[in-house]
Amino acid sequence: MHLPNYKDARTRDKREYKRVFFQIDNKLKNKYKGKKYFIKTYGCQMNEHDSETIAALLEELGFTLADSYLNADLVLLNTCSIRENAHNKAFGMLGRLKHLKQEKKNLIIGVCGCMAQEATVVDEMLKDYKFVNFVLGTHNLYQLPNVIDESIEKNVQQIEVFSREGDLYEGLPVVRVSPFKAYVNIIYGCNKFCTYCIVPYTRGRERSRAKEDILREIDDLITDGYKEVTLLGQNVNAYGKDLYDDYNLGDLLEDIAKKDIPRIRFMTSHPWDFTDKMIEVVAKYPNIMPSIHLPVQSGSSRILKLMGRRYSRESYLELFHKIKDTIPHVSVSTDIIVGFPGETEDDFLQTISLVEECQYDNAFTFIFSSRDGTPACKLEDNVSLSEKEERLQRLNQVVNSYFLKNNKALEGKCLKVLVEGVSEKKNMYYGYSESNKLINFTSAKDLKVGEIVEVEITAAKTWSLDGNCK
């Protein structure tokens, strides 16, 4: 048993790690043939991709996918800690699973993901959630087969959570949700320690994957017919810093762009590490999609300082305009937090004016959520919840108006769209443009998913575009 400990999770020292190749214990292969699993995933793309690895590990044990958690022998919650509502959703699901287990005594329940890294959550599992069979930390994913097996064989709650990152595992299996779009991890963890954010404590310090491992994974995806790869990391712009003297995200993007893959995306980019070389590379290669996610969080330099973001309103805007001026037809999206402790009406209005200047193509807006153990959690917060809710509404009105304005400018234009499927409601095809806009469209001829087609835009909406493929 390994329990998480916040003191250790907070340490910032760089630790040596090895690159280890995963191999499943042979005696566990197919041991649970005939059993069914269900995974409920909360949170970001990193978790979605981890769930693809979890699914593959379970399938190596012999489990197959159930159509609902009600029909599963094993239910695993891949949790998120970023805001309180993600937390509450996972606890709500655990409540439902508790009832289910009263009827199905042999149901195995597991908790993994970011909440598993929180000492307070693990304490609750130990005291009040005894029906949870195992808890597995984000640094312990490779132990999943053994932990499941032990929890079943011994019938004792298993807790395996390292507070800090361990070795970097390569060769973990993966069952991808899509046959043409793939996530590829390039860097794990985060060293930025923004004062509101729990991620550095739940995901550890930055560790880049070796470029050879990434490039090999992409070659395999190309062989398998994949059309789009999204390079993933909490802060992809820090790629390579911990591993190489002279090889960064710009170099990696360039090496991938030279391959025969039609679409490359990457996320998330912290403005601090965005180099001119990266901007030039994105502008130069047509298969690197002109779509940048550049979280700003606030338009007030005073709040940005309190958030520990390492840039000011002015330096963010300078970078934003450089990106807009250098990359043709680029779309930029962002994340914004309102109601950070001490945010005044004037600070908030600076966020609004920054949005008016940047006219984002998409924005994810949040009310500050105090996370235990982060520095911001100790700041005095004199803004009431109703005031924060009102600011969020005002902000959403402004960001939405720019989504519509930007989409309107695309009416009559032809965009390249990767066909993802047919929407059941409208009986139209749907897919995403190069600039990451959702397009619903009709087509005179039958199309295949995974195809890239030209679509003429006929009507703009706030969150999508309608079109026609001739």
Give me the residues that bind ligand SF4 (CB under 6 A), please. Answer: 190, 192-194, 197, 199-200, 234-235, 270
Cα–Cα distance for residue pair 423/441, rounded to 1 Å: 10
In the complex with ligand SF4, which residue's Cβ is closer, 193 or 247?
A: 193
Among 37, 38, 69, 196, binds ligand 5AD (CB under 6 A): 196
In the complex with ligand 5AD, which residue's Cβ is closer, 44 or 144?
A: 44
Per CB under 6 A, 335 contacts ligand 5AD = yes
**Under 8 Å CB-to-CB from 416, ≥6 apart: which residues?**
433, 434, 452, 453, 454, 455
Contacts with ligand 5AD in 70-129 (CB under 6 A)? 82-83
In the complex with ligand SF4, which residue's Cβ is closer, 234 or 406?
A: 234
Site string for ligand 5AD, 272-311 (x = CB under 6 A): -----------------------x-x--------------
Look up residue 342 and give its amino acid: G
Per CB under 6 A, 237 contacts ligand 5AD = no
Q: Are 307 and 195 in contact (CB under 8 A)?
A: yes
Per CB under 6 A, 201 contacts ligand 5AD = no
Shortest reach from residue 233's CB to ligand 5AD, in Å: 12
For residue 406 the two structure tokens come to 């930007």
Residue 368 interface partner, choices ligand SF4, ligand 5AD, none, CB cut-off 5-8 Å depending on type: ligand 5AD
In the complex with ligand 5AD, which residue's Cβ is closer, 82 or 319?
A: 82
For residue 269 the two structure tokens come to 């980019």
In the complex with ligand 5AD, which residue's Cβ is closer, 181 or 371?
A: 371
Residue 169 interface partner, choices ligand SF4, ligand 5AD, none, CB cut-off 5-8 Å depending on type: none
In the complex with ligand SF4, which residue's Cβ is closer, 240 or 467?
A: 240
In the complex with ligand SF4, which residue's Cβ is closer, 86 or 108?
A: 86
Shortest reach from residue 337's CB to ligand 5AD, in Å: 5
Q: Which part of the chain contacts ligand 5AD (CB under 6 A), choosing from 202-210, 258-266, 366-374, 415-423? A: 366-374
| β-sheet bridge partners, residue 168 | 19
Per CB under 6 A, 360 contacts ligand 5AD = no
Among 69, 188, 368, 432, binds ligand 5AD (CB under 6 A): 368
Q: Which part of the chain contacts ligand 5AD (CB under 6 A), choosing from 159-167, 364-372, 394-402, 437-445? A: 364-372
Per CB under 6 A, 337 contacts ligand 5AD = yes
Shortest reach from residue 199's CB to ligand 5AD, in Å: 7
Per CB under 6 A, 332 contacts ligand 5AD = no
In the complex with ligand SF4, which residue's Cβ is closer, 134 or 239?
A: 239
Site string for ligand 5AD, 369-388 (x = CB under 6 A): x-x-----------------
Distances (CA, A) of 416 to 398, 433, 437: 28, 6, 10
Q: What is the contact surface with ligand 5AD in residues (CB under 6 A)?
A: 82-83, 196-197, 295, 297, 335, 337, 366, 368-369, 371
